[in-house]
Chain A
Amino acid sequence: MTEMTEKRRAFIEISGERSSGKTGLILSELAQATARREFCAVIDATDSFDPVSARNAGVDLNHILWICCTGKLDSALKAADYILHAGGFSHVVLDICDIRPEIVARIPRSYWFRFRFATEKSGAVFLLITPVPCSGAGSSAAVECVREKVEWSGSPEYRLLETVCARTLIRKAFRSAAMIKAGNRGITLENILNSKHK
């Protein structure tokens, strides 16, 4: 119970390069949360959230608050702050994944500490998806997604993209690694973060 409560008030950073399974992991987490009829907020810095893909992953879109920031990073950070302080959302996702790493690296560290304190107070899980690790000591856990392989089916002339296999490395607070397939249902952050104890 204590473990769960702690994770409820967690700021988890998920980093990784493109096509490394970050979005699949987040959608899986949102699907689990919305299945429990919890409300989640997605703060989308570059309007890249795909509701069709989310629906296919099992996310109940009625329980999602989607904030499109149309490439304005400062708006995304302000919106995340408002949402965290409002409370009532079980998961708050800040997606700055498509922003150039050099811009992400320039975000002041004080933001991440502010988000962490707000997260601890609101009881939400704050998930930061970023191209490069940036939150430093601000986050309570950090996960890095690494692409393993891409599975294609069919003959060379008529191929079909099947799945993207990725590995998650726990960069902070946890030391184990778990092999996941991006987009797999049932794989959640909780499973990954607990994998060391199993």
Chain B
Amino acid sequence: MFCCIYAIDKDNSDYQALVAFASRFSPLVEETGGDSVVLDLEGTELLNGPFTDFPGRITRLAEREGMAVRAAVAANPDAAFHAAHGLPESVFIEPGKEAEYLGDLPVENISHLLADITVERLGEIVGTLNSWGISTFGPLAALPTTGISERLGPEGVRIQQLAKGKTRRSIIVKSTGAVFSLSERLEHPVSSRETLLLVLAGYLEKLTAYLKAHHLAAAGFELETRLADGSTYARKIQFPSPIKEYRTLKKILELEIEGFSPSSPVTWVRLELNPGKTRMIQSGLFTPDTPEPEKTELVLARIGKIVGQGKIGSPEVENSHRPDPVRIKRFDTGSVFRKNRHMDQSPSARKQPATRKLRPPLAVMVWMGENRPIRVQTTDSGIRKGVSGKVLVSAGPWLTSGEWWSKGKWEREEWDLQLSDGTICRVYHDLQSNRWYLDAIYD
């Protein structure tokens, strides 16, 4: 649960006093917007009493200290922020009832900081919403998300999520001043990678122990070195989930600097661990096994060294009509705990045969007869097997084109073919280069 404390009389109140006041109830305090603070109350029930009474108690305690504040407790920081700013009195919002409590707030109350857009853009969107007759959170939350996305883009969707009170984010806690960094001018310059790793391993051990003492884990690390010839070598790695095991971190560091061969001796090094909260996830008894994040990170780093960075991760289909609209995003086992967005989509009405793509498309020779392909031939390409044969059945041409406004323009004529060698494939004629390519094989 999160609590937002809003200084009503912000012109006459001392903001730092408000931050100090909030820090008495939770060590995790976010300074939001210059007139309010958001507290993470998780695990503070014994200290602060039941969450339902917390907003009222905060208001009374603040009054005694001469501060006029309004507090709201909700399941997410953004709903608490809007409730504290917009509602007439302090309130506890039951989880799941955010939309009910926030429904009557005017859309002008949406914070541009939380929506992560400029004030001008927010003003434009609010103007558009007003022109549609939408003036409060409730009707905005009731609009279909797809329609909002089409008309207002991702910013509109974010604003609608804020209106629903359904956003999910972690609060950004101001640094306590602890810096998990070690740097040193080396007494004896190091000229080999192995020796450098020994030096770094010592630093890493100290920093990991320091992090553990603060009940934190490493969310990433930054390595910077200066060489005798004046050049520098720097690496920066961010982990999907924080790691606190020294051995795992050491192995990842080792893999990261594997390709580093110093051209001249290293004279100065700095290693910094970015702190993150330790992972505390209790899996259910009947939930399937998931890969351990620490182990997975190490394995991904190892495989990344073999196949290359950017060649490993979760596939993602882009919202585009471009051929092969696919990219690879970072593999995150945390997604098992998130709602599956894809499963919300209705399945494709027409069952289509599975396809195998050829990346890059294989150039083929195509013989035409009566405006239809009659024979296709290609040679083996590297270790890939080619196709060759007479066309038994053909379907097409399917004409597609797009992005004529950019360099990624495409224009092609696709054919589905059944060949005499048994292959069922999709070939296309690139109308720009006037060449034929084998695009995919139905399998």
Q: Which A residues form the contact surface with B (CB < 8 A)?
A: 17-24, 26-27, 35-39, 46-58, 60-73, 75, 78-79, 82-83, 86-90, 97-101, 103, 123, 131, 147, 150, 152, 154, 158-161, 163-164, 182-185
Contacts and interface: CB of A to CB of B under 8 A. Distances in A.
Contacts of A164: 353, 424, 442-443
A82 B317 contact: no
Contact of A23 (B347, B354, B393): B354
Identify which of B288, B324, B348 gathers the most chain A CB atoms within 10 Å of its CB: B288
Given A52-B325, A78-B306, A161 B416 contact: yes
B307 A69 contact: yes
A19 B424 contact: yes
A83 B359 contact: no
A161 B395 contact: yes
Given A52-B317, A98-B385, A103-B383, A57 B354 contact: yes
A96 B355 CA distance: 15
6 contacts: A18-B387, A20-B443, A38-B289, A39-B288, A89-B291, A183-B351
Given A22-B443, A48-B358, A90 B289 contact: yes
**Nearest 5 interchain pairs by C-beta:** A88-B291, A51-B315, A159-B395, A23-B443, A24-B354
Given A48-B357, A87-B291, A66 B383 contact: no
Interface in B276-332: 287-292, 295-296, 299, 302-303, 306-308, 311-317, 324-326, 328, 331-332
A68 B307 contact: yes
Contacts of A150: 393, 418, 424
Contacts of A185: 347, 351
Contact of B295 (A60, A65, A72, A86): A86
Interface in B162-202: none
Interface stretch (B60-68, B117-125, B333-341): B333-341
A48 B359 contact: yes
Contacts, number: 212
B290 A19 contact: no
A44 B376 CA distance: 26
Contacts of A159: 393-395, 416
A178 B347 CA distance: 25
B442 A62 contact: no
B422 interface: yes
B335 A63 contact: yes
Interface in B47-75: none
B408 to A, nearest CB: 18
B20 interface: no
Contacts of A22: 443
A71 to B, nearest CB: 5
B148 interface: no
B384 A71 contact: yes
A183 B441 contact: no
Contacts of A56: 347-348, 352
A65 B442 contact: no
Given A20-B422, A38-B288, A163-B351, 12 more contacts: A18-B441, A24-B353, A24-B354, A48-B357, A50-B356, A56-B347, A61-B317, A70-B311, A75-B306, A79-B306, A87-B295, A97-B443
